[in-house]
Structure 1
Amino acid sequence: MENPIFGDNNKHARWSYFKNIADAEEMMRVVRDEAFPFIKNLGGEAAKSAYARHMKDAMFLIANPGLLSNVVSQIDSIPMEDRDTKGDLYEYMLSKLTTAGTNGQ
């Protein structure tokens, strides 16, 4: 049997769970304190994957619960049936992240 990424004790870290939290403060708490650390540490301490190396110093920087709720809502409205959409979204977000430090965003 395959070992699922999200076990019973961390199903709350799934997009399908936290995207439906109506209270923005609670969504922020779940994403910042539970989902993000879970995703950041996928593979555990022993992981030597490129993912683990790149996520080592990652920080969750969305400080406003309303902004997080808005972003989650907008991303959820994107039709993801087309896998190219996911790639396009990923590349767009990467481009925003690379300019965020220089633009103060």
Structure 2
Amino acid sequence: MAELAVVTALTEKVLSMIAEKLFEEVSMVIRFRKDFEFICEELFSIKCLLNEAGEKTSSSSMNNWIERLEDFLVDAEDVVEDCGVETCNPIFRFKMGRRIKGLKDRIGNIHRSAKYLK
């Protein structure tokens, strides 16, 4: 299951990107630190699940879950990259807040749905 390796690598990349942003001034200005920390914790737990799953499972439910995770990771990567732009603009901060809240909700749902995988 080569897709699992790709998703695991992408998870690691997004975790690293978020970790960098957590300690930058930008996260303090925008005040999304707690949201990023939550997303990071969820991704860390998911990374552990991926490591445990390894090549064992190739069910359609697992493939669907991995696709959802991969879509999330691509979107998360875009959001984290955009965080350094226009931090003083209140409209930008509002839009970014909505995007980050959406990511937070999605990763929580993805993580919770992992318990139903077979």
TM-score category of the 2 structures, normalised to the smaller one: 0.3 to 0.5
- TM-score, normalised to structure 2, is 0.35
- TM-score, normalised to structure 1, is 0.37
